[in-house]
């Protein structure tokens, strides 16, 4: 099991999604910014590091939105999604193919990594509920 963190970063009623690069597993699928924890790292620190490495932004992790476990053919991940806010910088595409700010109503227009599907349903329920 691989521990992974990601950020649910809001800008008004829109949240950030990133498109995976063509060269990686699950190429060109959409996901939340984040990545694997390194040895000795806590989730919040990993999210701050990943956002800096992937988008050149500094984020402040807030509370945990939710967590899921998903098994892919090549890996099983335990994904913790943090609500987070950008405290400095403008997102740059250092690793991802593309980046979008979308509303909950636009979720179904994008093809996401399978591990994110359950999370996206929770976002839709929280917004509409």
- Report, at the CATH architecture level, how domain 2-128 is classified: Alpha-Beta Complex (3.90)
Evaluate if residue 82 carries a pLDDT over 70. Answer: yes
Percent of the chain whose pLDDT exceeds 90:
93
Q: Could you tell me the two tokens for 81?
A: 């999604």
Would you place residue 25 in the very low, low, confident or very high pLDDT band (cuts 50, 70, 90)? confident
Q: Do 81 and 32 contact (CB within 8 A), yes or no?
A: yes
Q: Positive or negative, the Cα torsion across 75, 118, 28, 80? A: negative
Closest CA to 98 of 9, 2, 28: 28
Task: Give, in order, the Cα–Cα distances in Å from 98 to each of 40, 54, 55, 87, 121.
Answer: 30, 11, 11, 21, 22
Name the DSSP letter for residue 112.
Answer: B
Cα–Cα dist 120/27, whole Å: 19
- Residue extents of the structural domains in the chain: 2-128
Q: Do 21 and 29 contact (CB within 8 A), yes or no?
A: no
- Chain segment 48-60, per-residue pLDDT in tens: 999 999 999 999 9
pLDDT given for residue 24 in this prediction: 87
Evaluate if residue 128 carries a pLDDT over 70. Answer: no
CB burial of residue 97 (10 Å; 0-12, 13-18, 19+) = middle
Percent of the chain whose pLDDT exceeds 70:
98
Helix (H) or strand (E) holding 85: strand 76-88
SS3 assignment, position 10: strand
């Amino acid at each position: 099991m691989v521990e992974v963190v990601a950020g649910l970063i809001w800008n008004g009623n829109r949240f950030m999604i990133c498109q995976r690069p063509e060269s990686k597993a699950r190429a060109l699928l959409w996901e939340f910014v984040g990545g694997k924890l390194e040895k000795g790292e806590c989730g919040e620190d990993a999210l701050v590091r990943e956002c800096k490495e992937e988008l050149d932004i500094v984020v402040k992790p807030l509370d945990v939105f939710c967590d899921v476990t998903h098994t892919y053919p090549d890996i099983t991940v335990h994904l913790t999604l943090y609500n987070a806010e950008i405290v400095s910088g403008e997102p740059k595409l250092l690793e991802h193919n593309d980046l979008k700010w979308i509303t909950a109503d636009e979720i179904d227009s994008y093809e996401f990594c399978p591990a994110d599907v359950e999370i996206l349903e929770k976002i839709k329920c929280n917004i509409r509920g």
